[in-house]
Structure 1
């Protein structure tokens, strides 16, 4: 839209249709959003917890597999010690300490305890003090040892091998504690905790924790222990996220049908504490509503932008600017409304031009009638005055001063007579029509005034966009009209002290010839100071001039020539500076009457 002020989307009042659309969209989407959020929350929360629980179960299986692997490795190392004969001195002597070679290797490999038992189960050697050592089942087919020392119970993963010394059978146990250093990689995961509970007496004592150690650790919750004991033996684990913070599972360790231990795995904190159904519901709902608001903004912008343009166009027309047009997009109701608005604006602009033409034509007609009567009444007395003055000039009794004064009288009467003839020709210019090419008309005009333009240092540019167009008119009158426009522009650029053209550059005149809607436009534009706003509306009225010695009939004659040819002339100031005069003439294919009464005029 041309020149219409544009309002930012956020500056629109809250009662505007755009905000109503956004509020309606949000209100309509609340219930579906609640349902969709609830369903999404169930799916996301269930899927997330299931995936995390399955991952924790794999961690527990990895822990059990690591216990099995450690038992195998310690067994192989014990067999190596037997084959190298390094254990024989420990059986045959009363040594209470490991030889330095074995101790260094055990420390390097992370082994904590070496015990040798005879065929009666009596302890022959121990690298550390032992209060109690009991072989217990850890999982199906997997045994560990419950080691007690200084009142502290620790699980020991030990490889067991038999050997013979002096015909007597012995067993060696080489193992490592299931403690904080059992799986070093577990300690790096601060949010992951692994615990091992084992049944000692009537309760399941915590014998290992990857995070907090085992000293003075509380036993397994009795309700959970009963639930695990009563659970289906085929169930791989039991979810415990309802029994504490975070996500946790309990993997039972069974000996036959009896529950003997529990491996607990939990993901605490680490960004998972907030993943609850209520938090997920709130988060998904807020994100969904935000998307709804953004979608409402975008959709309302698409829907209301044409309405805003229409409203701005209507406001512009209400202020009298009938040149406003609205861009037509699509063929929907808004597009049809924009098309109707543009048609209305064109008609209003045409009616305004027609009204202005009728008012000016009425003024010119009245002025012409007055001029004709006045000329008739004035010419006769002027003729008598002129004849009398010429007769007196022939008298021999007059002095030179009197003759000179009579000469002034004759000259002024002739000037008044010439002015009256010009006025009459302006009121009712005669027509001797012929087919004229606008380009040739302009070339002829510039040929007449070339010397004047060169003297004033005016550069001329001709833009002929309708070289084949023809108009029907009086060549002499059209030449005189165009010549008036060109010379007026040259004079205006020369005498204006505030001319906008840059210093050192000559005044510039552009003559553009264009064809549009059955009309030919001859536009004469200059880069002078333009037309004063107070003169713009009456620049074509008789006796209106900005020249000190002008009569004010030049542009009035141009207007009369345009009207007599069924055309129109319009003056305007260009935004970039300077004035433009648009002389509009009908094409030769249209009759003068048709053009003069055209609805767009």
Structure 2
């Protein structure tokens, strides 16, 4: 079954990422330090506990010897026991005493004379080596059932004071029972390695297989055999345990056995002592805390911001009915209230603007209609007058021809006025393409100068390979209107047109200046108004149409300061692309 994880937007992902960086990075540093401290500290405590628990083996041996000596004193103070030893055939120990010996863990009781001749033995055990004179306790190698084992013994002379006649030897075998008791007492895994030649072997852990103590390094064996000191290892018993090896010395000071006491490497202790695992767990915890904190913070803080973003996007889409829910009384709540109030204000302003626009539109339409009617009224008046005169039968033929010419010119004037008006109100949508800004001007110039040989053209085009995005035909039409006005200003006399272009601030400016009389300061502000003209013949729409076409192509038509005395117009467009060498 797929998990339905919460989806986060970009801002929420950034918040989560920032929280992760703020939490995880310190957590990683703290995790590295904490894992090192915890693992080393816990490892140190484990080692101390294992070493203290391993001392139980030595203490246990000493307790066995102390019990053997104590019981030997009891036997030495028993007159019947001494008399029994003087008999030709000593009898076994009395049953109550024998039961006490067994409960104390004593494996055998033997009596020797001063020549170390065995007089009495409670078990078939024979010593492979003897104790030193005056020695009261020792660890000796014995033979039992044709096997060599170690025994911890207590030695008591009889009598206890004066010249000894006998030696009572009570011993406990270091066998599997001893190992099991030591394991229960210490809580650690215990193994006993007996010495056979130069090697040590575990004879009890697995009766079917004798295990050799070969995995210890040479430094460890040297410490155990030569220095006769315990050796602690983190990778004991082929890496399965952490524990301590303790040497067991015989009566001559030779290492006859090694007791291992260790804790198996598994479970919770292994996790706490593994730095890498601890670092991984702490880092994982930090990442989890960071993710949860980031998600929670993004829900509490970023969600109101997301509501605001959605409201702003709706406002940008002209939806002035957008509203942001107010979910808190903090600064974000105040911001949501302010946004809602702003949306209401914008909606009211939009409604008022639409009303004003409608009024302005009707007013502009009235003004334009009045201007158009005024411009048409004069030609119509001339037409009406000429038509009335033509109705008279006694009209002179020359007068008749003159009236006919006036009718044709005035009707053509009305037709041109209507055509310009239609062109102003319904020009076609531009078809944008990458063009050289000088090409539309050159084409319009070629058309305007047809039949005019007295116009000198000067070109200073410095725009290089710059291109603009525009409709070349519409720009040619705009330049045609400007050039028509320029030629009309020059008149029939010789004249000059100066074409310039320059790049500036990511834009290109291309301009035309004529050698006419120029434009008066009073006429400057009204040049682009419909039907405004200083010429006797003209509709006053040429520059208005040119300005509209330039703006439709993403440019601006400007009146520039002339270099000489004429009129200078320029078109400014953003650079679309530029070829690099």
Per the normalisation by structure 1, the TM-score is 0.47
Higher Rg of the two aligned structures: 2
Per the normalisation by structure 2, the TM-score is 0.49
